Structure 1
Amino acid sequence: MITADNITSHEFIGLNTEIVKSTNPQVIGLNGRIINETKSMFTINTENGSKLIAKSTNSWKFSIENNDVIVEGSKIAKRPFDRLGVKV
């Protein structure tokens, strides 16, 4: 179960998100469902189509258990299985 305390070690695909802080002011407020994730990028399905956005230059808002959780992109800019602590 994803909680505010362990969100950084979980899978993000399928979660809704919003960019709340960014080095690129044009993407602040962009929101949608994460449909793919790589080491450094999220693919977000927005109402205007899919967007490929860098993780590390943004702060991401997720709603977990009816609470908003802000995650710094630099803390999640790893391959998903590296965040999970899985050795491959």
Structure 2
Amino acid sequence: MISSQNVLRHELIGLDVLVSGAANPLHKGISGRIIDETKNMLAIQTCRGIRRIPKMHSTFRVRLPGSELVEIDGSVMVLAPEKRISLHEKKRIP
């Protein structure tokens, strides 16, 4: 089950998100649902269309199932999603 401790090992597509901080002031405050993820970008479906936000230099507030909010520094997510998931899986402490 996805939680604040293992959020980086899970798929983010489908989760609600708010850009809580960004190097570009026009990106700050964008909210919606994550519909795609690449190595360097998150695609967010907003009420005004799709916005692509760079992960680097951005901070995201993600709502997990169960209404828990998690703040994620985008720089730790700058990897292809499949590599990010497997990388954190290998580093898991038993």
CA distances 1:40-72 after superposition (whole Å, capped 9, x unpaired): 011110000001110112100012232211000
1:68-87 → structure 2 map (5 Å cutoff): 68-85=69-86
Segments of 5+ residues of structure 2 without an aligned counterpart are: 88-94
Q: CA RMSD in A?
A: 1.2
SS at match of 2:50: strand
Under a length normalisation based on structure 1, what TM-score does the superposition of the two structures give?
A: 0.91
SS at match of 2:20: strand
- Find out whether 1:63 has 2:63 as its counterpart: yes
The equivalent residue for 2:16 is: 16
Segments of 5+ residues of structure 1 without an aligned counterpart are: none
The equivalent residue for 2:92 is: none
Aligned mates of 2:15, 2:35 — CA distance in 1: 8
Residue identity in the other structure for 1:73: G
Residue identity in the other structure for 2:29: G
Aligned mates of 1:15, 1:63 — CA distance in 2: 6
Under a length normalisation based on structure 2, what TM-score does the superposition of the two structures give?
A: 0.85
> After TM superposition, what 4+ stretches of structure 1 lie above 4 angstroms from structure 2?
none
Residue identity in the other structure for 1:12: L
Aligned mates of 1:51, 1:78 — CA distance in 2: 19
Aligned mates of 1:52, 1:22 — CA distance in 2: 12
Aligned mates of 2:34, 2:69 — CA distance in 1: 16
Q: Among all aligned residue pairs of Structure 1 and Structure 2, give the percentage whose two residues are the same amino acid.
A: 34
